């Protein structure tokens, strides 16, 4: 099980950075529309198979974020 809501985390980090999905898309070589589709995708950003494997092995997935210096 993924303990984070990664989609919400990305949106919060966008707000904290004062950036739009369009700006983020341009920075990583894609579009704001693509970023939006990824964030709204059923199953989320993390691969469902990966989540199932870790769950079967008895692990929860917990992500932490560290701001780069």
pLDDT in tens, 2-27: 777 888 899 999 999 999 999 999 99
pLDDT classification of 43: cutoffs 50, 70, 90: low
Domain count, the chain: 1
Top pLDDT among 30 and 3 is at 30
Please check whether residue 13 lies inside any domain of the structure. Answer: yes
Q: pTM for this structure? A: 0.75
Residue 69 has a pLDDT of 87
Please check whether residue 63 lies inside any domain of the structure. Answer: no
Check: CB of residue 44 under 8 Å from CB of residue 2. yes
Please check whether residue 16 lies inside any domain of the structure. Answer: yes
Please check whether residue 11 lies inside any domain of the structure. Answer: yes
Please check whether residue 51 lies inside any domain of the structure. Answer: yes
Please check whether residue 69 lies inside any domain of the structure. Answer: no
- Give yes or no for residue 61 having a pLDDT over 80: yes
Please check whether residue 12 lies inside any domain of the structure. Answer: yes
**Site of tokens 């894609």:** 30
> Which residues lie across from 61 on neighbouring strands?
2
Residue 55 is encoded by which pair of tokens? 């769950």
Q: Which domain holds residue 13?
A: 6-56
Please check whether residue 65 lies inside any domain of the structure. Answer: no
Residue 47 has a pLDDT of 80
């Amino acid at each position: 099980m993924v303990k984070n809501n990664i989609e919400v985390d990305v949106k919060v980090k966008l707000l904290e950075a004062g950036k739009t999905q369009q700006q983020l898309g341009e920075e990583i070589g894609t579009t704001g529309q693509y970023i939006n589709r990824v964030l709204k995708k059923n199953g989320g950003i993390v691969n469902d198979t990966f989540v199932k494997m870790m769950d079967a092995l008895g692990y929860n997935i917990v992500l932490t974020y560290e701001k780069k210096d």
